[in-house]
Chain A
Amino acid sequence: MFEIVSKEKLGPAVFRMDIAAPDIARKHQAGNFIMLRINEEGERIPLTVADKDAEKGTVTLVFQAVGKTSAELAELCEGDSLLDFVGPLGKPTHIEKFNGVVVCVGGGIGVAPVHPIACALKDIGNRVISIIGARSKELLIMEEEMKATSDELIVCTDDGSYGKQGFVTEALDEVIRREGKENVALVVAIGPVPMMRFCAKTTEPYGVHTEVSLNPIMVDATGMCGACRVTVGGETKFACVDGPEFDGHKVDFDELTKRLAMYKESEARAMKIYEEASHGGKRCWE
């Protein structure tokens, strides 16, 4: 059992949880992910990791309650436990000191997994420009943390309720033009699939290498089942062992989008049953 040692609400339906998992905390590197299962009837879901504390032995998750499992997770409180917690999985982000600036782009809760990557890139001596965005101000997370690890932070909201009005892609385009495409060594973009797709589209004409972190459906996440297959550069890859990060210019986002919708009806049904059973009591939501 893996105890939830602290829980915080970051925004509407967005939560941060520290989970006691010393073995994983010790091994986790930026870019890795974990799998969890809440209880015996639960499904295994992958979640990216926002942070870890090897000394305390905790792993920090940031997630949004969107489906049945994440809603159920959101209802758990400090002191509750998760039945299964596995990791660190996937390949860590390739970290090196680049000749040129590195741009880290986080959209929505994608800011959470971008944060440790920005930290690792910064720690090794890179100049890091970060762009974070959300639909509106209350959905924006981890601004302070991102500010602390970036040489420059640009904040955008779709509705203009905070920071610049507009999408992160617009800010990304501006940064590349301002810095000069030959001076931008790397873009790391993590967020909802459309956001990652348009970040890759933005950087493609400039030829700036862009890493995206994919979140396909997974079951075992150790390379055994193939549920997470994605097409990258015309080849089938398993995101759980070959990724989760891939060259955004080569990813078949159309296929990824369709594959993510595979269980839409089942998911809606599970959510409906869950809500009707009046579980939606929002036990520790505030």
Chain B
Amino acid sequence: MAPREKTPRQPMPEQEPKVRARNFDEVPLGYSHETAIKEAKRCLQCKKPKCRQGCPVEVLIPQFIGKIAEGDFAGAAKTLKEKNSLPAVCGRVCPQETQCEELCILGKKEEPVAIGRLERFAADWERNEGKVEIPELAPATGKKVAVIGAGPAGLTVAGDLIKMGHEVTIFEALHKPGGVLVYGIPEFRLPKAIVQAEVEYLKSMGVKIQVNAVIGKTRTLQELMEEDGFDAVFVGSGAGLPTFMGIDGENLNGVYSANEYLTRSNLMKAYLFPEYDTPVARGKRVATLGGGNVAMDSARTALRLGAEASICVYRRGREEMPARSEEIHHAEEEGVQLNLLTNPIRIIGDEMGRVSGMECIQMELGEPDDSGRRRPQPIKGSEFVLEVDTVVIAIGNSPNPLIPATTPAIETSKWGTIIADEETGKTTMEGVYAGGDVVTGAATVILAMGAGRKAATAIDEYLKGK
């Protein structure tokens, strides 16, 4: 290979903050061919690539980047897909800065290779060129696997198992497959057409998807195994019940869980009301509670729904915010205000039961708590009222209880998560595996996919022994 050119990490063009804060189109615009090749050539092609260790699904990172550097984009996409069935998604929503890119050797002296942007580039190129190849499937094994939940974990399991020759049916409770990729992550961060394309890809390999199927209600897990002839089941039913603060006024009109706010806007397309039937409050002054990615998504959605002020209220400091720095950066660029070290005490309503304000208290950071983050403490006498008409609560979810509640053989932890082996996803019920948020509690897309990958391998092993 030619000696490496000393080029800086290539930025990705984005929509102007002022413009994009008022539309739902995707924010980053992607690399051009030239930029992608330039960035790919920065890769040192390490013999023992550290970056791969940071990837929960062990993407062949130097290999696919090498193909891009050679201009072989089809080859790059193919290499990516050997390990990752959703590269266009991961290229957009993975926290690369704490995974692959964090371990990139280049990052020690300069900036790491933009692995995520290159992943996105290769996957987009393949899709846009219409050159998506269906990989070779192993000979049919005659074994049937049911996958519960068409989110990142379920889609990964399905993609892996179908390639191994098993018959796969995904059962999805909502009317569209994709899970959090369609109901949670907004269009401007992950266009729904991309999720749709990934789902179509799985279908083209033979994966069956049944929507409107609430396992635990429409069918139970036992029925799938005992009556419908499924040899194994993967449970990837995701996060469920949204967490509320437990403060006064949370049931006022205008208070949403982030799940509801985002589901209305994304899945139900409330931003297109009245063309679409589902409404959502178009608040003028919107407070989002929380400091994670979901809070950033909500605060940025509020702007796009026409908010004059979108205020993110978080009880700790900026350093403690769990959101990706890129998301915080994008949100601030667009005009989201961060009210840090601030904790809501109560939500105030008018006589119609509508939100009219939120009383907050200033916080200061004390000693570190169990999570290692400094514990916020209220400052006496610092109460103040924030004038808002909409409040979105984005402080997390507990796991969806439907499956554990109707499947006694599956044991759960005291938090309601399904107990599953970390390496295999094996649950306490024979032939049943689980992964993603229903096991870990709310986490990331890629961690769910990683769990799906491991479970698929374990299910394959299990089926071979049957």
Contacts and interface: CB of A to CB of B under 8 A. Distances in A.
Given A222-B400, A223-B240, A259-B353, A88 B217 contact: yes
B173 interface: yes
A86 B244 CA distance: 27
B240 A222 contact: yes
Contacts of B329: none
A259 B349 CA distance: 12
Given A223-B241, A224-B240, A266-B279, A27 B175 contact: no
A127 interface: no
A226 B259 contact: yes
B352 interface: yes
B212 A86 contact: yes
A258 B353 contact: yes
A83 B278 CA distance: 16
Contacts of A80: none
Interface in B361-401: 397, 400-401
Contacts, number: 119
B400 A43 contact: no
Contact of A229 (B219, B251, B281, B353): B251
Contacts of A24: 218
Max chain B C-beta neighbours (<10 A), residue from A225, A227, A238: A225
Given A41-B275, A86-B212, A224-B400, A258 B352 contact: yes
A42 interface: yes
A236 B244 contact: yes
Q: Is the interface of B mostly helix, strand, loop or mixed?
A: loop
B274 interface: yes
Given A263-B279, A266-B273, A219 B260 contact: yes
B251 A259 contact: yes
Nearest to A40: B276
Max chain B C-beta neighbours (<10 A), residue from A219, A229, A255, A273: A219
A97 B183 CA distance: 43
B211 interface: yes
B175 A224 contact: no
A161 B174 CA distance: 45
Nearest to B210: A23
Nearest to A88: B217
B140 interface: no
A23 B217 CA distance: 10
A273 B250 CA distance: 32
B257 interface: yes
A262 interface: yes
A233 to B, nearest CB: 14
Interface in A227-254: 227, 229-231, 236, 238, 241
A84 interface: yes
A273 B353 CA distance: 27
Contacts of A87: 214, 217-218
Interface string B170-182: 0001110000000
Contact of B277 (A229, A236, A270): A270
A222 B273 contact: no
B402 interface: yes
A69 interface: yes
Contacts of A259: 251, 253, 353
Contact of B263 (A69, A85, A219, A267): A219
Contact of B218 (A23, A83, A225): A23
A225 B257 contact: yes
Contacts of B174: 220, 222
Interface string B318-353: 000000000000000000000000000000000011
Interface of B: 173-175, 183, 211-214, 217-219, 239-242, 244, 250-251, 253-254, 256-257, 259-260, 263-264, 268-269, 273-279, 281, 352-353, 397, 400-402
23 contacts: A23-B213, A24-B218, A27-B218, A41-B275, A44-B268, A84-B211, A86-B212, A86-B218, A219-B268, A220-B183, A222-B174, A222-B217, A223-B241, A223-B401, A223-B402, A224-B240, A224-B263, A224-B400, A225-B260, A241-B402, A255-B251, A261-B253, A267-B279
Given A222-B173, A255-B353, A259-B353, 7 more contacts: A44-B175, A44-B278, A68-B277, A219-B260, A226-B256, A258-B352, A258-B353
Question: Top 4 nearest A-B pairs by Cβ distance?
Answer: A258-B353, A266-B279, A225-B260, A43-B277
